[in-house]
């Protein structure tokens, strides 16, 4: 208890150390492994049903693309009879026939590979280019940042699909690799801008200052510390963009300037079915449904990942 002193000042008595177990309360468990952002994100995602639903759908779609023969033994192009044109479902052909008399279910299964390949390859290229350019521009700044920003503004002015239409119309051959390359030319600025903003925030962090004080080179700091701590928003955008690129491929194929007619894809089937939409709408419905489910799965996963990596979103739940 405080007591009065001759000079009328309060004397504060401190309890003995053994009577205040502060050390036990504040003691840090050094054996416990520190939790990272990704560990917290995983704990958040695994509790959400939408994560498991979207992940299961994506795994199924990837499996169909890799091994289509596990899901159908019917040949997608051979044994096409005009007598079966726009025919309904029958034994061995659960979704009926296309306008050319081919099995609709088999074409959807085998067309998954081309559509998913374009989406995955375009996403990989866009993410790689955007992360490299955005990280260098954001961390080093100066003239490099100004040049990259102006070039990005130029490409932002050209919509991805419109730019792809112009380039693909003059190319002699259109394959999944070609489609992905063309789309990545016009789509990288979005990833680069997001990465640049994240790097601008991360480069002023304490761990960067500590690394500089220890004599670590700028490039090593960028690779070891800045990029790993800035990549989270890019992963979210890349997950959502994958579905967008699949839709873009279908749009280009529907317009007749996407994948060649000899390559099976959902976009080609949708484009071929537009002439039969009045008499046999199911021919267009089935490939469109496959496209919609795939895009929805990636959008759901992107939403879950975005919430898990956003501390504010986790705090609201």
Can you read off the two tokens belonging to residue 241? 């963009």
Mean pLDDT, to the nearest integer, of 2-6?
50
DSSP 271-298: HHHGGGTTT-THHHHHHHHHHHHHHHHH
- pLDDT surpassing 80 at residue 103: yes
Lowest mean pLDDT among 88-92, 132-136, 161-165, 286-290: 88-92
For residues 38 and 168, the model is more confident at: 168
Q: In angstroms, how far apart are the furthest CA atoms of the chain? A: 115
Q: CA-to-CA distance for 255 and 276, rounded, in angstroms?
A: 16
Give me the half-sphere count of Cα atoms (radius 13 Å) on the Cβ side of residue 283: 25
Question: Are 101 and 92 in contact, with CB atoms under 8 Å apart?
Answer: no
Closest-CA residue to 119 (of 242, 235, 240, 234):
242
Give me the half-sphere count of Cα atoms (radius 13 Å) on the Cβ side of residue 154: 6
Q: What CATH architecture applies to the domain 57-75+95-316?
A: Orthogonal Bundle (1.10)
pLDDT of residue 17: 54
* pTM score: 0.79
pLDDT of residue 232: 84
Can you read off the two tokens belonging to residue 93? 């052909």
Angle, vertex CA 210, rays to CA 205 and CA 211, nearest 5 = 100
Mean pLDDT, to the nearest integer, of 245-262?
85
Residues 6+ apart with CB under 8 A from 78: none
The tens digit of pLDDT for each residue in 30-67 reads: 555 656 666 777 888 888 888 999 999 999 999 999 99
3-state secondary structure of 10: strand
For residues 195 and 88, the model is more confident at: 195
Lowest mean pLDDT among 18-27, 65-74, 249-258, 288-297: 18-27
Reported confidence tier of residue 135, pLDDT bands at 50, 70, 90? very high
Average pLDDT, the chain: 82
Pairing verdict, β 10-11 and 3-4:
antiparallel
Q: b or e along 306-315 (b: 16 or more beta carbons within 10 Å of the residue's beta carbon)?
A: bbbbbeeeee
For residues 212 and 6, the model is more confident at: 212
pLDDT of residue 131: 93
DSSP 62-96: HHHHH-GGGT--S-SSTT--GGGTT---BTTBTT-
Percent of the chain whose predicted confidence (pLDDT) is above 70: 85
pLDDT of residue 1: 46
Q: CA-to-CA distance for 165 and 256, rounded, in angstroms?
A: 10
Mean pLDDT, to the nearest integer, of 119-140?
92
Indicate left, alpha or beta for 310 from its phi (over 0: left) and psi (-120 to 50: alpha). beta
Q: CA-to-CA distance for 56 and 50, rounded, in angstroms?
A: 10
Residue whose structure tokens are 């089935």? 286
- pLDDT surpassing 60 at residue 275: yes
pLDDT of residue 63: 93
- pLDDT surpassing 70 at residue 117: yes
Closest-CA residue to 175 (of 61, 91, 263, 110):
263
pLDDT of residue 174: 84
């Amino acid at each position: 208890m405080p007591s009065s002193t001759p000079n009328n000042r309060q004397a504060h008595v401190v309890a003995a150390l053994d009577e205040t177990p502060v050390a036990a309360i504040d003691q840090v468990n050094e054996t416990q492994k520190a939790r990272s952002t990704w560990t917290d994100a995983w704990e958040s995602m695994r509790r959400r049903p939408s994560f498991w639903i979207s992940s299961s759908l994506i795994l199924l779609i990837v499996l169909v693309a890799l091994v289509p023969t596990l899901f159908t033994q019917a040949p997608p192009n051979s044994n096409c009879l005009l007598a079966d044109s726009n025919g309904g479902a029958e034994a061995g052909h659960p979704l009926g026939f296309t306008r050319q008399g081919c099995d609709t279910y088999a074409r959807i299964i085998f067309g998954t590979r081309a559509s998913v390949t374009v989406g995955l390859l375009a996403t990989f290229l866009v993410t790689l280019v955007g992360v490299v350019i955005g990280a260098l521009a954001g961390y080093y700044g100066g003239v490099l940042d100004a040049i990259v920003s102006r070039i990005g503004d130029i490409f932002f002015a050209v919509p991805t699909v419109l730019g792809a239409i112009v380039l693909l119309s003059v190319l002699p051959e259109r394959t999944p690799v070609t489609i992905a390359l063309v789309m990545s030319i016009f789509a990288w600025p979005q990833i680069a801008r997001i990465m640049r903003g994240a790097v601008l925030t991360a480069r002023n962090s304490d761990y960067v200052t500590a690394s500089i004080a220890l004599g670590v080179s700028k490039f090593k700091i960028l690779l070891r510390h800045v990029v790993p701590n800035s990549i989270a928003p890019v992963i979210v955008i890349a997950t959502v963009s994958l579905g967008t690129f699949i839709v873009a491929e279908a749009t280009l194929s529907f317009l007749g300037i996407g994948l060649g007619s000899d390559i099976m894809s959902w976009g080609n089937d949708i484009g071929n079915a537009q002439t039969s939409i009045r008499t046999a709408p199911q021919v267009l419905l089935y490939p469109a449904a496959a496209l919609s489910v795939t895009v929805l799965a990636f959008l759901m996963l992107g939403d879950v990942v975005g919430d898990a990596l956003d501390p504010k979103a986790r705090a609201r739940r």
